[in-house]
Amino acid sequence: MQINLRDVKKKFVLNLILLLLLNLLIKPFYIFFVDRNVQNVVGTEEYGLYFAIYNLTFVINIFLDMGIVNFNNRHIAQNPQLLRKHFAPIVTLRLLLGLLYFVIAFAVAAVLGYSARQFALLGILAFNQFLLSFILYLRSNISGQLKFVTDSFLSVLDRFLLIVFCLILLYAKCFAGKFRIEWFIFAQTAAYMLTAITAFCVVLKNASFQRLKFDKKFFFLILKKSFPFAVLTLLMAFYNRVDSVMLSELLPGNEGDIQAGIYAHAFRLLEALNNFAYLFAVLLLPIFSRMLKQKEDVRSIVKVAFNLLAVFSFSFASVGLFFGYDIMNVMYTEHVDISAKACNTLMFCLPGMSFGYLFGTLLTANGSLKYLNIIAAAGMTLNLILNFILIPKYGVIGAAITGVITQSTVSIAQVFVTKKVFHFNADNKTILTFLLFIVLLFVSGALIVRLNIWTWYWKMLLQLCVAVLLAIILNMFNIREMLVLLRPKKVE
């Protein structure tokens, strides 16, 4: 059965709107009223300790997932009938990988010379990563069947539960003045557990699971097929998350934890916005996978997603540049000046990350993992070299500069490879429109920030409105096409 391009674009736009609405309701509240307050209550050094250990568990997450989530998402989208057959043995495989993950996590911690408390935090955070990875696997089965509405609600359930738990721990009178970073971690554990149980029950409606199924031959087959995805995930995790670990390890004494905490201040805002860009990958991977299998032309979807991501990422990069100090000053009580400088720089990672979710996802759906792994390996090498050079000299600012250079280099390489693989012709009009949008956006930002008649948040809102207006004027947002897509289909 061939895919109707109009239906695909409509599904993409409608589900993107739903995902954005749900995430706008939940995640900004979590960032500004929960995570920010946790950082302020426990202090920069204590949160920096947690942040460095968390990112270590994230970097070695590859041994927990082995690329199964991305492989499964693409595979189920192309062959939805295989869910019943594969579900039980893959669940068993993931449990075995969980044991391997814990062994490796504690071995790495021993090499790094972790203290008893660091080991304890590592154990809980590693278990949280296990739960989160299992949730992502369960959701890959749901999104692989193009059930985006269900997946959209599951995507915010853990954050919603975490908000409830943390608000109680932070503001209930019986817990006043007692909050510790361990409480935050245990709240994550409870939220992930409940979400995993919910997602498991949803998947069971379409899958057969009576008992754990040990199938050695099947395990090796799945690991062989998912191995390229595993390598890609590992390499990307390194250049996305290793910065705070290196800050903690390369700088002397407590300075490493303090600098990692400052980095977390600015990175938290970037991560919140990056989560919105990631929603494109969630929707696009199964859509691209099914379209490519049926030999459909993906250029129309690519253009829509590119324009949306370009406007989104550069608009907020400009906000970070012009209003970084004001945002950090509102969010945090310590080290605001250096956090603001890190924010000014780090927000320019967002365009590279965003375009990676488009072009990297398209290459993943196509199975072009060799190219992606070469690019990611180069990105990891570049990131490590720059961090070793810049962090000892410039601390958190050096890590931020490294992040921008790495993300930009990786995304540009992915664009060129995509052009080669799919034989996309350079659209000079699109390129000129894109460059004109960027120039006008930053010129307008430089003018708006100098206005003396409004407070900073009204100027920030004006900057975002100007960005949307520029996108409409330059026809990057085709309002007429969007309205046609959203119009109910006539029944013949």
Vertex 165 angle, CA 162 and 171, to 5° = 125
Mean pLDDT score of the chain: 82
The answer to whether residue 377 scores a pLDDT higher than 50 is yes
The answer to whether residue 241 scores a pLDDT higher than 90 is no
The whole-model pTM stands at 0.71
Query: Tokens 């109680």, residue?
Result: 168
- The closest alpha carbon to 1, from 374, 291, 212, 303, belongs to 291
More confident residue, 159 or 221: 159
366 vs 78: CA distance, rounded Å:
11
pLDDT band with cut points at 50, 70 and 90 for residue 50: confident
pLDDT band with cut points at 50, 70 and 90 for residue 1: very low
Mean pLDDT of the 268-289 span: 80
Give the range with max mean pLDDT: 284-288, 386-390, 419-423: 386-390
Non-local CB neighbours of 188 within 8 Å, separated by 6+ positions: 128, 162
So what's the pLDDT on residue 490? 44
Q: H-helix or E-strand containing 275?
A: helix 255-293
So what's the pLDDT on residue 63? 79
Taking the CB of residue 25, how many other CB atoms lie within 10 A of it? 12
145 vs 203: CA distance, rounded Å:
11
The answer to whether residue 195 scores a pLDDT higher than 90 is yes
So what's the pLDDT on residue 301? 81
Lowest-confidence segment of 225-229, 303-307, 385-389 by average pLDDT:
225-229
Structure confidence by residue, pLDDT tens digits, 115-171: 899 999 999 999 999 998 888 888 877 776 667 677 778 888 888 999 999 988 888
Mean pLDDT of the 473-483 span: 70
pLDDT band with cut points at 50, 70 and 90 for residue 80: low
pLDDT band with cut points at 50, 70 and 90 for residue 246: confident
More confident residue, 391 or 152: 391
Phi then psi dihedrals of residue 66, to 5 deg: 55, 30
Non-local CB neighbours of 294 within 8 Å, separated by 6+ positions: 2, 3
Vertex 185 angle, CA 180 and 186, to 5° = 95
So what's the pLDDT on residue 74? 65
359 vs 55: CA distance, rounded Å:
25
**Percent of the chain beyond pLDDT 90?**
26
123 vs 164: CA distance, rounded Å:
24
419 vs 403: CA distance, rounded Å:
25
Mean pLDDT of the 395-403 span: 91
Query: Which one-letter DSSP state was computed for residue 3?
Result: P
Non-local CB neighbours of 161 within 8 Å, separated by 6+ positions: 190, 191, 194, 195
So what's the pLDDT on residue 492? 35
Long-range contacts of range 462-470, CB-CB < 8 Å, 24 or more positions apart?
Answer: 463/315, 463/318, 463/319, 463/322, 463/323, 464/315, 464/319, 466/441, 467/311, 467/314, 467/315, 467/318, 467/441, 468/311, 468/315, 470/437, 470/440, 470/441, 470/444
Q: Specify whether the CB–CB gap between 282 and 19 falls below 8 A.
A: yes
So what's the pLDDT on residue 28? 76
Lowest-confidence segment of 195-199, 287-291, 334-338 by average pLDDT:
287-291
Q: Distance of CA 195 to CAs 29, 192, 224, 283, Å? A: 19, 5, 29, 20
Mean pLDDT of the 383-393 span: 91
Non-local CB neighbours of 426 within 8 Å, separated by 6+ positions: 419
So what's the pLDDT on residue 262? 84
Mean pLDDT of the 452-471 span: 90
